[in-house]
């Protein structure tokens, strides 16, 4: 893409006299979007944009969007209504505001966004964030820009990296993207269309990023991917590595004390990865393993390519490797054709597994996915009622899991100051928030604690 320099703001001489341009980024949806928002912020920092938390003082507003359920896209359009008003007010006092839409709504809707929301100047899909500075130069020269190519290898190659100061500011836990896209084509899901085919990032790039994070004080790294356990790549030993082997390599990096990964598909949970849960102390005992439904008929219609029993056997195998693992999952209620008996099979599966945490959703037909064209769509009333029943079971399980930690001793990674004075906040191995006394240690320390009590889903450690 051509880099066009126009206008006074693109001129470095006059830019020096101006205050730094400011960017406000709002992130919707999954952790991959949180990671991508950070990478966009990093790319823009190199281009003279300072991040701001205040939308009204932003020269550039970026909405990093999610398309997974209908409401997510609608929220973006209503936010754009508010932004239009804000842009108008800024223009009245002689300041402009550039508005960009990134993420999966950008990828899915493309040019349609410009038609529905003329306030938007730039539409940029998840695979092209490294081209953001160039795209903004084109916007400043008066163009409306739509960048929605799939060039994922290119993205991995050119991922902007944060400076050391920025890593430190972001804290002692970090995300690291190792895989993007999905080839599974579950019939309800837009991801294979918005994020494209499954692509793994090369080992050397992942190790280099992890070393940079650890070198700046990061203690816990969460590997990200839409299908993270499908990650594979050529190892430096000339062998094909899977995620299990990669985790062992990352655990060797000095300073890396804790590793996590998300989100996984049951079909890609191989023996080496399960063995890592047994043998690798740095791998935390928490696994997000979506099943979506407990009914074989619905799982088939969803094209999940596993049965409820396969999932239950897998959970048993994983617990055989690591008995204290906390299971987490995703569920969809009200998929087309779901009967009361199908739904009850989901409740049965939930009872059998016992989840420490879970996310559950009403089915939302996504245009272009096979599910949207299926027979037997259910009414909102039925979906609401099933969601409520499922959620009350899941939250009771979460509560049980939380209270079962009271009286236990384990290590907590201290992440940040607590909300109240004299407190620190950290996480248990099972990802639960833990509040400690400030005398317990420093941010970044891993401290053995005893849990005195719980409140909601938060644990409180005994005073040191």
Which residues of this protein are in contact with ligand SF4, per CB under 6 A?
182, 184-186, 189, 191-192, 226-227, 265
Tokens of 72: 């997510």
For 420, counting Cβ atoms within 10 Å of its Cβ (0-12 exposed, 13-18 middle, 19+ buried), the class is exposed
Cis peptide before 263 (omega within 30 of 0): yes
What's the min distance (Å) between Cβ of 341 and ligand SF4? Answer: 23
Does residue 343 belong to the site contacting ligand 5AD (CB under 6 A)? no
From residue 270, alpha-carbon distances to 222, 230, 258, 273, 313 in Å are 19, 9, 21, 5, 13
Closer CB to ligand SF4, residue 76 or residue 191? 191
Look at the alpha carbons of 406, 409, 415, 419 in this order and tell me if their dihedral is positive or negative: positive
68 binds ligand 5AD per the rule CB under 6 A: yes
Q: Name every residue whose Cβ is closer than 8 Å to that of residue 59 and which is 6 or more positions away in sequence.
A: 21, 22, 23, 49, 95, 96, 97, 98
**Residue 332, contacted partner among ligand 5AD, ligand SF4, none, CB below 5-8 A by kind:** ligand 5AD
Footprint (CB under 6 A) of ligand 5AD, residues 227-256: none
Residue 21 binds ligand 5AD, judged by CB under 6 A: no
Q: How far is the CB of 435 from ligand 5AD (least distance, A)?
A: 29
| DSSP symbols for 352-371 | HH--SEEEEEE----TTSGG
Beta-bridge mates of residue 61: 24, 99
Minimum distance of ligand SF4 from residue 105's CB (angstroms): 16
What does 192 bind: ligand 5AD, ligand SF4, none (CB cut-off 5 to 8 Å by kind)? Answer: ligand SF4
Closest residue to ligand 5AD: CB criterion: 330
Nearest residue (CB) to ligand SF4, 98 versus 360: 360
Sole window of 215-223, 237-245, 297-305, 359-367 interacting with ligand 5AD (rule: CB under 6 A): 359-367
Count residues near ligand 5AD (CB under 6 A).
12
**Between residues 52 and 295, which has the closer beta carbon with respect to ligand SF4?**
295
- Closest C-alpha to 206, from 227, 226, 178, 228: 178
Q: What one-character DSSP code corresponds to residue 350?
A: H
Q: Is 386 in the site for ligand 5AD (CB under 6 A)?
A: no
Nearer to ligand SF4, 207 or 374 (CB): 374
Please report how close the Cβ of residue 362 comes to ligand SF4 at its closest, in angstroms.
15
Q: Please, which residue, 360 or 454, has the CB nearer to ligand 5AD?
A: 360
| Neighbouring C-alpha atoms within 13 Å toward the C-beta of 338 | 29
The yes or no reply on residue 292 touching ligand 5AD (CB under 6 A) is yes
Instruction: Work out what residue 226 binds among ligand 5AD, ligand SF4, none; the CB cut-off runs from 5 to 8 Å by kind.
Output: ligand SF4
Residue bearing tokens 């040019």 = 111
- Does residue 361 belong to the site contacting ligand 5AD (CB under 6 A)? yes
The residue within the footprint of ligand 5AD, chosen from 21, 69, 87, 277 (CB under 6 A), is 69
Tell me if 226 contacts ligand 5AD by CB under 6 A.
Answer: no
Show the binding pattern over residues 317-336: x = contacts ligand 5AD (CB under 6 A), - = does not.
-------------x-x----
As measured in angstroms, the least distance from the Cβ of 38 to ligand SF4 is 21
Q: Name the nearest CA neighbour of 293 among 249, 251, 239, 349.
A: 349
Measured N-to-C along each axis, helices 308-321 and 271-279 cross at an angle, to the nearest 10 degrees, of 30
Report the length, in residues, of the chain.
Answer: 464
What is the SS3 assignment for 437?
strand
- 3: tokens are 């880099």
Place of tokens 């997974």: 68
| E-only strand ranges, 110-154 | 122-124, 145-147
Q: What is the DSSP letter of 294?
A: S
Q: Which stretch binds ligand 5AD (CB under 6 A): 129-137, 139-147, 346-354, 362-370?
A: 362-370
**Cβ closer to ligand 5AD: 68 or 80?**
68
189 binds ligand 5AD, rule: CB under 6 A? yes
Q: Smallest distance, Å, CB 304 to ligand SF4? A: 7
SS percent in the chain: helix, strand, coil, step 5 = 40, 20, 35
CA contacts within 13 A on the Cβ side of 23: 25
Identify which of residues 189 and 449 has a Cβ nearer to ligand SF4 in the complex: 189
**CB under 5 to 8 A by kind: which of ligand SF4, ligand 5AD, none does 361 bind?**
ligand 5AD
**Three-state SS at 233:** strand
Rounded to a whole number of angstroms, the minimum distance from the CB of residue 254 to ligand 5AD is 34
- Chosen residue from 156, 188, 286, 430 binding ligand 5AD by CB under 6 A: 188
Which distant-in-sequence residues (6+ apart) come within 8 Å of 178 by Cβ? 200, 201, 206, 223, 224, 225, 228, 231, 243, 246, 261
Is residue 290 close enough to count as binding ligand 5AD by CB under 6 A?
Answer: yes
Kindly list the residues in this chain that would bind ligand 5AD in the complex (CB under 6 A).
68-69, 188-189, 290, 292, 330, 332, 361, 363-364, 366
């Amino acid at each position: 893409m051509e880099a066009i320099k126009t206008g006074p703001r693109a001129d470095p001489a006059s830019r020096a006299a101006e205050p730094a341009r400011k960017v406000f980024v709002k992130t919707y949806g999954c952790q991959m979007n949180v990671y991508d928002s950070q990478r966009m912020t990093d790319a823009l920092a190199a281009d003279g944009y300072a991040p701001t938390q205040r939308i009204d003082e932003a020269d550039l507003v970026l909405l990093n969007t999610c398309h997974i359920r209908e409401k997510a896209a609608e929220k973006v359009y209503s936010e754009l209504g508010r932004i239009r008003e804000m842009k108008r007010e800024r223009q009245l006092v002689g300041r402009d505001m550039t508005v960009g839409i990134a993420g999966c709504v950008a990828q899915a809707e493309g040019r349609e966004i410009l038609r529905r929301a003329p306030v938007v100047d730039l539409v940029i899909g998840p695979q092209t964030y490294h081209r953001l500075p160039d795209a903004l130069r084109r916007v400043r020269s008066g163009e409306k820009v739509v960048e929605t190519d799939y060039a994922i290898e290119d993205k991995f190659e050119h991922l902007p990296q944060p400076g050391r100061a920025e890593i430190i500011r972001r804290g002692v836990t970090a995300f690291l993207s190792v895989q993007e896209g999905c080839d599974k084509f579950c019939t309800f899901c837009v991801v294979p269309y918005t994020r494209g085919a499954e692509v793994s990032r090369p080992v050397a790039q992942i190790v280099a990023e992890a070393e940079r994070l650890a070198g700046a004080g990061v203690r816990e790294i969460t590997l990200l991917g839409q299908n993270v356990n499908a990650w594979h790549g050529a190892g430096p030993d000339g062998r094909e590595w899977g995620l299990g082997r990669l985790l062992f390599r990352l655990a060797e990096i000095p300073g890396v004390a804790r590793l996590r990964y998300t989100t996984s598909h049951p079909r890609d949970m191989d023996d080496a990865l399960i063995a890592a849960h047994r043998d690798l102390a740095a791998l935390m005992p928490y696994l997000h393993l979506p099943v979506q439904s407990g009914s074989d008929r619905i799982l088939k219609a969803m094209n999940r390519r596993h049965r409820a029993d396969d999932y239950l056997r897998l959970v048993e195998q994983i617990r055989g490797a690591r008995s204290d693992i906390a299971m987490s999952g995703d569920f969809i209620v009200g998929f087309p054709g779901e009967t009361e008996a199908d739904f009850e099979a989901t409740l049965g599966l939930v009872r059998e597994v016992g989840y420490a945490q879970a996310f559950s959703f009403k089915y939302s037909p996504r245009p272009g996915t096979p599910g949207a064209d299926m027979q037997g769509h259910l009414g909102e009333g039925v979906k609401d009622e099933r969601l409520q029943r499922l959620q009350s079971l899941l939250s009771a399980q979460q509560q049980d899991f939380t209270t079962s930690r009271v009286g236990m001793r384990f290590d907590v990674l201290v992440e940040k100051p607590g909300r109240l004075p004299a407190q620190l906040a950290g996480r248990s191995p099972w990802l639960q928030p833990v509040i400690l006394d400030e005398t317990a240690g420093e941010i970044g320390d891993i401290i053995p604690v005893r849990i005195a009590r719980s409140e909601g889903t938060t644990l409180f450690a005994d005073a040191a």
